[in-house]
Structure formats: C-alpha cells, structure tokens
Amino acid sequence: MSKNYVQQLGKVLKTKSVEKLTEFVAKERPELGFQYATYKVREIAMWKMIANRTDMPKELHNEAVEWLTSNGYDIEV
C-alpha cells in the first residue's frame, strides 16, 4: 500500500461514513470485495480500523473503542 493510500483511507475514516469507506475501498482495493460484505460487517470493520490506527484523533479513537465495546466487539482487527 502506498503512503498516499494510507493517508486517503485516514481521511475517509475520519468521516465515520460506512458508505464513503465502501466507495473508497471498492475503488482503491476492489480485490478485497469489501462492498459485498453486509452493512454491519463493513460498519464493524470501519470502527476497528479507526480504533487501531495511530493517526486518528484521540476523541475519534475513544469513540471507536466505545462503539465496539458497547456493541460486544473486540477492539483488535
């Protein structure tokens, strides 16, 4: 993955939009088939990505951890 891809993904994740994340990954990494996963799986993946990235704002990281734990999901990817 290029540094540009990682930066762009970070910007998309900061929107907290499953739809925008789906569009981005479908365009940039279609081989992953992310767009074919259920909405819930994509939503969980988004929050896990946010929780595990070191470049996310602290508040957003905390929000992701809270969302995952309150919905019964592990924080780890």
Is pTM beyond 0.85? Reply is: yes
Q: Which tens digit of pLDDT belongs to each residue from 1-38?
A: 677 999 999 999 999 999 999 999 999 999 999 999 99
Q: Do the Cβ atoms of 26 and 35 come closer than 8 Å?
A: yes
CA–CA separation, 44 vs 64, rounded Å? 10
